[in-house]
A = this chain, B = another copy of it.
Amino acid sequence: MRKEIYKGKIVDLRVETTTLPNGATATLEIISHPGASAVVPLKDASTVILVRQYRHAVGGYIYEIPAGKLSPGEDPKDCAQRELEEEIGYRASNLELVISLLTTPGFTDEVIYIYKGTNLIQGTQHLGDHEVIEVLEMPMAEAIAKIQDGTIRDGKTIVGLQTVWLQMGNRA
């Protein structure tokens, strides 16, 4: 049994009563989300481009890889390219899917597809009214250090940076 509580611009909330595999009945609060794409943009083999973005839900600016939510029917790779250009003003000649993650599967179905973007070419940044973003470049090793010291805290950003770093064959 599903009860729709709210249909929003980004998320919908429903309360659903279901029978679990162990036979128990559970009433669960579930947020549905269209999903998102993100990119680890490498300007060269050792330099990543990040954004510092204002996120009202967590009360301030945080470091993130460029990302945005999927439009209806949009291919995640197209979304990745679109968001990359909109947020940092580059397009990636090569976009390779690195990993996808479930952000917090206890209460949402949100999936984020993370790409590695290489061979960057100049495009045009065009931020939405609600995107408050500063673009910055950083050595990958510094970004990994900023995860370990607690400066970078965004889940998709940590997953993207660490996964690309490990694929490069690096240690901490």
Q: Which of A41-49, A84-92, A146-154 contacts B (4 or more CB under 8 A)?
A: A146-154
The interface size of chain A toward B, counting residues with CB under 8 Å, comes to 65
Report A133-166 CB contacts with B as 1/0, cut-off 8 Å: 0000000000010011010011110110011011
List A residues at the B interface (Cβ < 8 Å): 5-6, 8-11, 13, 15-16, 18, 20-22, 24, 26, 28-31, 33, 36, 54-59, 62, 64, 69, 99-110, 112, 129-130, 132, 144, 147-148, 150, 153-156, 158-159, 162-163, 165-167, 169-172
Task: Report the copy number of this chain in the oligomer.
Answer: 2
Q: Please determine whether B9 and A30 come into contact, CB atoms closer than 8 angstroms.
A: no
- The chain B residue with its CB closest to the CB of A172 is B166
Q: Please determine whether B33 and A57 come into contact, CB atoms closer than 8 angstroms.
A: no
Instruction: Give the residues in chain B near A156, CB-CB below 8 Å.
Output: 104, 155
Instruction: Give the residues in chain B near A103, CB-CB below 8 Å.
Output: 103-104, 155
Q: Please determine whether A99 and B163 come into contact, CB atoms closer than 8 angstroms.
A: no
- The chain B residue with its CB closest to the CB of A159 is B158
Q: Please determine whether B166 and A171 come into contact, CB atoms closer than 8 angstroms.
A: yes
Instruction: Give the residues in chain B near A171, CB-CB below 8 Å.
Output: 166, 169-171
Q: Please name 15 pairs of A and B residues whose Cβ atoms are closer than 8 Å in the assembled complex, sorted by A.
A: A5-B6, A13-B31, A20-B132, A21-B54, A24-B132, A26-B129, A31-B107, A36-B106, A57-B108, A58-B102, A99-B148, A99-B150, A148-B166, A159-B159, A162-B163
Instruction: Give the residues in chain B near A11, CB-CB below 8 Å.
Output: 13, 29, 31, 107
